[in-house]
Structure 1
């Protein structure tokens, strides 16, 4: 029996909103006793020295595999490049070390962060190289830009029809290299150099290390299949058989569940049992994943009113009748349902389709909407009425809020974006997320943004929409456990729960404390220390 006694801790148990001083006794990965003082025996003792103990963060929506794989691509994030010339220089540097004919791929590209405030052109990419196919992945993951050699290899020509739900953009009738939305991007993705299974496993290991360092003890991969289709599932299957620390949940793209031979026709319970057996319970199946619109910052989120910058409101991806049929089919197999919805038109479509599932007898699984960026008050009320949970992409406020205010949504809608406040007030179960690698992975940063609602320029979007520190901490801990339906296992510091804990140097409930990853001193999973500040 392994035991650990944490002494002299300020405990924020996420049951009460006030820290209390005490000791925590852990046996075989479980919290067995909490008291003002516990006498030390033969167990290992850790003196918390007055630091603050909280339940480990539960990340309910990010893309671990993409995050890990992106580490090997050309870094085109706003932190690395400021303008088109910077992008060209970064790509040229990689081209010098890449054999002629091989692909050059970048990630983190965001035209709204560039000094030019526009997309890079196909001519500017061709100026880097026409001997190499070049493709740069947008930070949203919902579009990308290709040079002419890449389009040639993929076979996209002026006569290629746009796929349903996406399009190949044109300027004056000619392809300009911009591919919008997943159906268009997925035409190109199979031609990119595929990482080996070993490289994908290494990417997941790198992601796991970074997540744990930021206090995450349970994470959800938000779309197995988004990176490299069925190869994602093979990589995760191999990865979860290793001796990993991070607890993991898998959302699987519904196409994979329908089209992959190893998955086709399996019920939720059958596939869940298989995944848990392979991972010795460290990984489980979360849900079937759907996408019903795109991204606000590329004008592909489906709105009920035109964008502020264009006379267009985009459109939903899956026709309503088809979406309802898909939900009914997967619900019939017992799957919880998770759907990406940024724009209010998409959110309304999802709610309407989920409402049809309510008629199924004995179906009581989680129904979720992800992002909910422009949900209206009536939408949140409808979510409550139909027992729909949600996760808000509040990081958007800081990273893209200025552009949404000035360009994409205008002041009125930007002030109300990511309305977690309404969910809190109405009583809708919700969490917060970073959608990493769209924005950096850091629960404390996400909590800060939800509480401050400040953009990069310091503009506050919705003073009355702020969460309190305790509410935002709940969204990343106990609410995550409730959403995952694991509240009997984690999410609070309580007797009988898994000893998934973080210890912070300062009190995160103190408004004078700046929330950052620097506060994290220890991370424990099942009572074992897996991170210690150096």
Structure 2
């Protein structure tokens, strides 16, 4: 028997505003993994299927976009980053090492910063600012000191920001302005490094000692400068195909600026902010706190910072660093932000009681233990609920901690880009070989059927979705060594960590993360299909366009191909979100879901 659409039934299906075809379409929907065409109406996906069927929705005003052989995917979603600070980075001198900059020794750093004295930001702030130096990549294998920064200027204060964002260095003029001297005490959760044999600061500031200096500078920026930072950050994210971005640990100034940008209609992509609960909890009274975006902005919850960075050797570990940093003894293992567990316990419990999602920066395994303990106590007190707490970075998570994540419903957002940028440094100086092999342990998560997101933590690294994908899949260091082969995943899994699973992290899986009927028409365009090229070539992919709710927001080229069943959806399926949990092999084979009572159904695992 055939069913023929007639009369009112036909009229119920509107003509599409846009139809995309002509290239590979990767849907990230296991029940319909590929398609030849996608129809869109009013910013949402109307139909996904073969070209002939989708073209039946073409009306007299329908725009048909030929992708011209490019590949279309769901819009990339930023698992963790700081889009506001990316704008600050864009306004600072680039002192990143290769391949993102040219600073691989201190004399080059000094030369570049000397040339920035006429920089508009220098004039506005009265400071010379550089972003991105990395002591692990400097020929001297150490941080620049006040004496070397004095060579840039003795009259103008100089502040340079480490690539991790967790520490930096200043010259003598800046130390005087910040009133830091031999009598200054280390702040809680921070360290003022000293000259050898004395208490005189050597110019290097860690964690809260550094943040106080940096935030006082950023506070001098006016509305116009802050708006420019938002635009610069957004433009860079668009270049890498992101249609949803995060502002992690948002300051009051950042919240104000994003709110203004949203009200003016200046945001082209969605931005979800997480306020610093320890210092800016008042921001959670804002009308922007919501699970729904208003003009592309919302506050999604709170951020807690529990420790520092492993590459800067300020992350809080349970065992000592492989090689202690300058000025520390052999038993040095970093330090916590919250010296008393009860401080963190109270914050997490209060956030849970108010229904706020919690994101916690936890790099060291001791910090992860502290967070797990706080979540466990809060759940024992308040009961289990769909809160989706997130462990940001979880760089040195142990196997037992990954199991605890699963038991407590904590979702990890891993930072596999570390394997490229600092993999060799972690192995040879920070953690030693065994711990370094297991940084960002995605393999352990996959073994347990867990989902995770992957992120760039910009401006710690450029917000390069392509490098995130390549690092998650390949885990190759700067010297070409694979770090933790058992944690490598398929390109498909790498894409899910940038799309559907990241959407779940934000409670947005019903609207984003896959190309399915009813979801937002958020798309990223690539020059090649990442599922059809050797994994070693992933780093060479180029983002050629970004589309936000059917609006081109970045240079559009085009794409499509493939084939798919006509009417399949897993938009409301919990199983579809947990595709790592069964029948997704590390060979990259995609299997449709099976009911739990069928062979291979429900609770299988990744091999």
Please report how far the alpha carbon of residue 146 of structure 1 lies from its aligned counterpart in structure 2 after TM superposition.
Answer: 1.0
Structural mapping, 1:277-292, within 5 Å: 280-292=294-306
Moved more, 126-135 or 489-498: 126-135
1:425 to 2:447 alignment: yes
Q: Deviations over 1:475-494 (max 9, x none)?
A: 10110111111111111111
Aligned residue in 1 for 2:567: none
Structural mapping, 1:437-448, within 5 Å: 437-448=459-470
Aligned residue in 2 for 1:463: 485
Structural mapping, 1:13-412, within 5 Å: 13-16=27-30, 20-36=34-50, 37=52, 38-39=54-55, 40-42=58-60, 43-78=62-97, 79-95=101-117, 102-171=126-195, 172-173=197-198, 174-187=200-213, 189-191=215-217, 194-225=220-251, 230-243=252-265, 244-258=267-281, 260=282, 263=283, 266=285, 271-273=288-290, 280-310=294-324, 311=330, 312-318=332-338, 319-359=340-380, 360-361=382-383, 363-412=385-434
CA distance in 2, matches of 1:11, 1:126: 55
Structure 1 alignment gaps of length 5 or more? none
Conservation of the 8 A alpha-carbon contact between 1:17 and 1:470: no
Conservation of the 8 A alpha-carbon contact between 2:525 and 2:556: no
CA distance in 2, matches of 1:7, 1:183: 54
Moved more, 316-325 or 188-197: 188-197
Q: Higher relative contact order by CA 8 Å / sep ≥ 6: 1 or 2?
A: 2
With over 3 angstroms needed to count, the CA separation of the structure-2 counterparts of 1:136 and 1:378, relative to structure 1, is: same
Please report how far the alpha carbon of residue 164 of structure 1 lies from its aligned counterpart in structure 2 after TM superposition.
Answer: 0.8
With over 3 angstroms needed to count, the CA separation of the structure-2 counterparts of 1:17 and 1:441, relative to structure 1, is: farther
CA distance in 2, matches of 1:306, 1:408: 9
Please report how far the alpha carbon of residue 7 of structure 1 lies from its aligned counterpart in structure 2 after TM superposition.
Answer: 2.2
Aligned residue in 2 for 1:12: 26
With over 3 angstroms needed to count, the CA separation of the structure-2 counterparts of 1:17 and 1:130, relative to structure 1, is: farther
Please report the TM-score for the alignment, with normalisation by the length of structure 2.
0.82
CA distance in 1, matches of 2:472, 2:358: 25
Q: Deviations over 1:59-93 (max 9, x none)?
A: 12111111111222122111231211111111222
> Larger Cα Rg: Structure 1 or Structure 2?
2
SS in 2 for 1:34: strand
Moved more, 499-508 or 381-390: 499-508
Moved more, 442-451 or 30-39: 30-39
1:502 to 504, 524, 532: 524
CA distance in 1, matches of 2:30, 2:71: 14
Q: Deviations over 1:340-388 (max 9, x none)?
A: 0001111111011111121314743221110011101110000101111
Please report how far the alpha carbon of residue 20 of structure 1 lies from its aligned counterpart in structure 2 after TM superposition.
Answer: 3.5
Please report how far the alpha carbon of residue 256 of structure 1 lies from its aligned counterpart in structure 2 after TM superposition.
Answer: 4.1
Please report the TM-score for the alignment, with normalisation by the length of structure 1.
0.93
With over 3 angstroms needed to count, the CA separation of the structure-2 counterparts of 1:135 and 1:118, relative to structure 1, is: same
